[in-house]
Structures are given as structure tokens and as C-alpha cells.
Amino acid sequence: MDYRITTRDERETIQIAQNLESEKFENMIICLRGDLGSGKTIFTKGFAQALGIEENITSPTFNIIKEYLNGEMPLYHMDVYRLDGKVDGIGLEDYFTKGGVVIIEWADLIEDYLPEERLDIKFKIVDEETRTLIFVPHGQQYEEICEAVL
């Protein structure tokens, strides 16, 4: 089952991320999909703030992976756009079991490397401020989170 939410500004996108963070668990995988400027990094900022991470969250486009270890739980923020679907050498699968939360921007580009159980969130641009977020849970734990939060 898919879940849809429309946000009218960045504040609402951040609030959705913070609500989702309240249901976090170790080795949680969140896969973000959507066009440039659709809100993927804004969502990650909201999630990180709720984790208590005080660092400025930016898209790790050139780093590929940024690790934030000073919150309630580690956050591993990835942007795989520049990988062209090739994840060899970055230790991607290791991050899935490091005991933190993994948020992957442009996850659709590495679909074959993603774990079966995860939460996909598609960001669709409606207009300059409005976004539709489509949540697709893969696995019982992610379905329960969507039911609880959305």
C-alpha cells in the first residue's frame, strides 16, 4: 500500500521527517527519489534535527556519503547521483548494518543494490512550494511505521 502526503512548504516536509524519525530503529533504510530541488535534502535535514544532530546538513553530492555520529543514533546520508549505478568500492552494504539510519538520495539509480526491506519516498514537485510525497514501505516494520505516522 502506498501513502500520499502533500506538503505546502519546507516546514511541512521537515515536520513529516521529524514524525518519521520518532519511529526510527537501528539499520533503518530510507530511499529518497525525486527530481533535483524536490525536497530530498530538506527531508534529511528534518530527520537529522529530530535525531539531535546539530551540524548543517547538505547534500553529499561530491562526498557520496556523510556520516553524522553525534545524534541519538548515527545517520549515514548518501547521494548516489554521481555513481552512475556503480557502487563498487564505497562499502554501501556495510552501512545497512552499522546500527544507524541510512538515508539515500537518488536511490532509484542503485535499485539493484538496495535491501528488500526499506522505505521508499518519492518526491513529486507540484509547484514552487508544494510537494507530494509518496511513501512505499517494503516490509512489515516499514508498513507499521507508515500506519503510525502517516
For residue 96, what is the domain's CATH number? 3.40.50.300
Mean pLDDT value of segment 48-68: 90
136/113 Cα distance (integer angstroms): 17
Full residue range of the structural domain in which residue 76 is found: 3-149
Taken as a whole, the chain contains a residue count of 150
Whether 90 shows a pLDDT value over 90: the answer reads no
Pairing of strands 65-68, 75-79: antiparallel
Residue owning grid cell 546538513:
57
21/72 Cα distance (integer angstroms): 11
97/131 Cα distance (integer angstroms): 31
DSSP structural state of residue 83: G
- 44: closest CA among 107, 93, 112, 91? 107
Domain count for the chain, please give it: 1
pLDDT of res. 1: 87
Residue owning grid cell 518526491:
123
Mean pLDDT value of segment 46-52: 97
pTM of the model: 0.95
Confidence band for 61, pLDDT divided at 50, 70 and 90: confident
Q: Which H helix or E strand runs over 125?
A: strand 118-125
DSSP 103-115: EEETGGGGGGGS-
pLDDT of res. 34: 96
Q: Identify the weakest region by mean pLDDT among 42-46, 55-59, 99-103, 119-123.
A: 55-59
- Contact indicator for 104, 32 with CB cutoff of 8 Å: yes
Confidence band for 86, pLDDT divided at 50, 70 and 90: confident
